[in-house]
Amino acid sequence: MTRKERYRIVLDYFRSQMPVVTTELEFGNAFQLLCATLLSAQCTDKRVNQVTPALFAAYPTAKEMAAAEPEDVLEFVRSVSYPNAKSRHLVEMARMIVADFGGEVPDAVSDLVKLPGVGRKTANVMQAVWFGRAAMAVDTHVYRVSHRMGLVGKADNTPLKVEQKLMSNIPADDVPRAHHWLLLHGRYVCKSVKPKCGECIFNGICPKILDDSKLS
């Protein structure tokens, strides 16, 4: 089976079964999505959704959070991973958005990655989810599933390389949804520990040992 054929099978399935899909994070505006995505790093969406209602009630926009101190924000996010660093990044991020971007979340990746705590993955989430652009955010789930399913090769050994390979094989119209397709498949089926191969619709085509020489 060629890699092109593998992509066709995977994408055809998701298009038919999950034509409408988006992030499981809860938010009310662009700034809140940015905050939630930052908080979700190495943390579950479920946990993030437990802390953000109170956080966003106190700081609904960048303007309110910019006036806070990291210690104030910390009280709302103590239960997420790395709360001290994330609370500091949230406040610094809000202050930069107010000072440099008029209080509005910038739409360019080059500007987004300037914000404290915002890397390429978070910037691409904003591009795809909020701005509706063809951007592929590669988190641990997308990275793992892409390798396990043979969508990328052994040489694609960084998130950027995986992003580039996926982008070169997935039609632009599908890219914003494809991030969620792969992420959700990794979160609920192709898990890091004890993947549910017996329940996986792709079990019959999933390479147990990836041989790049057979995938073109």
121 is a catalytic site residue: yes
Residue corresponding to tokens 């790093």: 41
Tell me the C-alpha distance between 123 and 19, whole Å.
Answer: 23
Query: Which residues, including other chains, have CB under 8 Å from residue 88's CB and lie 6 or more apart?
Result: 70, 116
Does 139 participate in catalysis according to the annotation? yes
86, 121, 156, 165: the catalytic one is: 121
What contacts 124, CB < 8 A, 6 or more positions away?
109, 135, 136, 137, 138, 163, 179
Catalytic residue among 72, 86, 111, 139: 139
d(CA 192, CA 144): 8
Catalytic residues: 121, 139
